[in-house]
Amino acid sequence: MSLWRIAAVQIDCRLGDVPHNLRAVRAGLRDAARLGARLAVFPECVLTGYCFESLDEARPFAEPAPGPSTDALAADCRELGLWAVVGMLERDAAGRLFNACALVGPAGFVAAYRKIHLPYLGVDRFTTPGDRPFAVHDLGGLRVGMHICYDGSFPESARVLAVLGADLVVLPTNWPAGAEPTVRHLTAARALENHVYYAACNRVGQERGFRFIGQSRVLDCGGELLTAAADKAEVITAEIDPAVARLKRLIKIPGKYELDRVAHRRPEMYGPLVEPARVPNDTRSAPSA
């Protein structure tokens, strides 16, 4: 099984300026290709911006998936021979808006993932929660699962993708100032507990009072950092080996110390995870992390 070089294309975008943002993404695709990447991951809502103040304000910048932007990106992917995961606002036939990311490749549009867990922040205050099951897509030797930003805060999300066979979980994100603990700890935990590669791509720049902190990163199956960006626009790459992600049994001392965080699960004990919470949440605000 061959190694895959993947890229996180950490860029800024302009709120409500899809033509400009699409040009920036297409340029980023070429940068990733020049660095030998076979898969390029872009930030959350990179085609539209994030900090909309209403559904009506955001609606003109949403597109169907597939649609004009994904068609343009698919043409580039065909020319360059790579795949891309790109954040966008998706509009469905009923007029609903989803915070989504599109997976496109040399053969065209592959799939759109709709963000399932929505924080009270930016456009997520107005979009519809994702309504499709988690899925894993085989790119021809690399099995990829998609999340978006806040989805990473829910261990169940990455675990489902691991059970479905993901080698790599990608996380287009918009981490603002204050999310530094998430950057440091959450990404490593998701990789380690599922023995998968994890690639988070954040944006940079400022938008309506929010400063986005960059720090995109790729982690190995043990949660160790392979590469990380600073707080500027840049493209980072890392080589990953799908075969490593599929060897879930970790043998520390043969016959004495062996771990398999997937095979050793006890699903019959996890019933409360799929039931409504029984303990009322404290509605007071917690201190900032």
| Chain centroid to CA 177 | 18
Catalytic residues: 44, 115, 149
> With 0-12 CB in 10 A as exposed, 13-18 as middle and 19+ as buried, what is 93?
exposed
Q: Nearest 5°: phi and psi at 194? A: -110, -5
Spatial distance between the Cα atoms of 107 and 180, rounded to a whole number of angstroms: 37
Tokens 């303990």 correspond to: 279
Spatial distance between the Cα atoms of 87 and 200, rounded to a whole number of angstroms: 12
One-letter amino acid identity for 245? A
Instruction: Quickly list H helices, the chain.
Output: 18-34, 55-58, 68-80, 155-163, 180-181, 187-194, 242-246
Q: Are 63 and 88 in contact (CB under 8 A)?
A: yes
Farthest CA pair distance, the chain = 61
DSSP 25-41: HHHHHHHHHHTT-SEEE
Instruction: Quickly list H helices, 81-209.
Output: 155-163, 180-181, 187-194
Spatial distance between the Cα atoms of 21 and 230, rounded to a whole number of angstroms: 21
Other CB atoms within a 10 A radius of the CB of residue 166 amount to 28
